[in-house]
Amino acid sequence: MRSLPLPLALTARLSPVVVLAAAGWALSSGPLAAPQAAEHKPAEEKTETQSASAPSTSTASKTYSAAPAPCGSIAKKTLESLVPGAKTAGKEIPSTDSELRRTCSWNALKGYDYRWLDVSYEVMESDEAARKSYEEHTTKKSGGGAVPGLGDSAYSVVNLTTEDKQETREGAVIARASNALVMITYNGSDFESKKAPSTDTINKGAIKAAKEAVAALESDKG
């Protein structure tokens, strides 16, 4: 097999600690970075409204007090399917507050196919704080749509970028469960054809990872 140079953007992705730590925290440059070419919009969207008479959640007991171990949130079989050739143990990214914010990354180049997956958790002080953050993130990441049945609310979007004629398609999913946010980034490229995986492949992969990550959060209430 001939050796192919990686495009600049993906070369950077192969050094996750450098890329993500430079922003202070993985989530600011991962799943919810500025949108580019949104492709996926589920047919059904749901919105949340809060009654003006509803009691404040700022003093309510928190459903989640700490983030679960992100590298253990995705099943081995799922990782082998989404990121072929990656070490299933993953690599946790250093955090400024590992009690509340944790991220794990998997990436691998198998043959000419490259895949990258991030799973991130953020535990906030209240449901209201998490709801506000969720709404801010989804507003910035326009062009996607709701993912029914995932947490209290969830949103997905898929973008396609091209650099030096090499396509990369990336899916992002953000889900809110009570006072916690779960964020997923999943992307891929084919260095032989210079094409990217289909929108459906990336979107379904990101949503599958999100479902497992939310389930891991819900089973690890603290």
Show pLDDT as tens, one digit a residue, over the chain (222 residues).
444 445 444 444 544 433 333 333 333 344 444 444 455 444 333 433 333 334 443 445 689 999 999 999 999 999 999 999 999 999 999 988 988 999 999 999 999 999 999 999 999 999 999 999 999 999 887 789 999 999 999 999 999 999 999 999 999 999 999 999 999 999 999 999 999 999 999 999 999 999 999 999 999 875
The pLDDT value recorded for residue 39 is 57
The pLDDT value recorded for residue 98 is 86
Domain segments of the chain: what residues?
30-42+63-218
Q: Report the alpha-carbon distance of residue 13 to residue 118 in Å, rounded.
A: 11
| Segments of the chain assigned E as strands | 91-93, 101-110, 113-123, 145-146, 153-163, 166-177, 180-190
Residue 184 CA to its chain's centroid (Å): 1
The pLDDT value recorded for residue 8 is 44
CB 103 within 8 A of CB 20: yes
What is the per-residue DSSP string for 169-186? EEEEEEEEETTEEEEEEE
The pLDDT value recorded for residue 23 is 35
The pLDDT value recorded for residue 142 is 78
The pLDDT value recorded for residue 61 is 67
Residue 161 sits at the vertex; the CA angle it makes with 21 and 138, to the nearest 5 degrees, is: 65
The pLDDT value recorded for residue 220 is 80
Residues paired with residue 103 on neighbouring β-strands, in sequence order: 93, 120
